[in-house]
Amino acid sequence: EEEHRSSVGDFVMRDIIILLGPPGAGKGTVAPVVKSKLGVPQLSTGALLRDVVRQDSKTGRKIKGMMQKGELVPDEIVMKLLKERILHKDCDRGFILDGFPRTMEQAKALDTLLTEMRERVTMALYIKVDPSILEKRICGRWCHKRSGRVYHVSSHPPKSMKLKNGAPDPQTMRDDKTGEALYQRADDTPEALKRRLVDFHKHYDGILEYYRKAKKTVNGNGSIQEVGHSIPL
């Protein structure tokens, strides 16, 4: 592990890793591998915002109001929360940013923050996956509303699943624990995926170029084990 950490005098540079990849690329698979290899926490800006909302502070109430209206929380607020979070003891060795930055403005704001701390993004891990594989992964997902449990018709089907004309019969898609009906998210259809991919490239191609010096590409086409082994750490 230690060879990843470069010292400047007595100052040890932290491992600061951002995870980038289209919907269904497997960021949730890659993050735990990086976490355990480097001993650093995974930070999600969504989770940071939800934590603040739970605290019911003045900022929390302001954020809750925005989220309820479906508004985006301003970058200044997100950056302030992030700055506080990365000073916690568990981030001493570094941290993984999941789902951030999403825009060039956020990438630049993150750089400004890290530069103030004499740091930089040490690795931008881009998980590259063929569109046909993304479609199989995403469009095969079924969820259980109350628990958040996720099933997949090929890799993790519910025990109740039966096929009808070669495709899963929606009537038989039920949660293993409760027997309650599963549902497919509106985002998990082929048409929605095409739109999301166009949107992803519109936003992220510039960010990938911005981080080209720190960028490392992971082949995300394989199984969880294969993808885990191909992470360049």
118 is catalytic: no
Q: Is 14 annotated in the active site? A: no
Q: Is 54 a catalytic residue?
A: no
Give catalytic status of residue 27 as yes or no: yes
> Active site residue: 85, 102, 136, 215, which one?
102
Catalytic residue among 14, 27, 137, 174: 27
Concatenated DSSP letters for 24-91? TS-HHHHHHHHHHHHT--EEEHHHHHHHHHHHT-HHHHHHHHHHHTTPPPPHHHHHHHHHHHTTSGGG
β-bridge pairing 163-164 and 150-152: unpaired
Q: Of residues 37, 93, 120, 196, which has the active-site annotation?
A: 196
Chain Cα centroid distance, residue 42: 9
Q: Which of 54, 159, 185, 195 is catalytic?
A: 185
Q: Is 137 a catalytic site residue?
A: no
Q: Are 233 and 34 in contact (CB under 8 A)?
A: yes
Q: Under a CB-based contact definition with an 8 Å cutoff, are residues 182 and 158 in contact?
A: yes
List, by residue number, the catalytic residues: 27, 102, 141, 185, 196
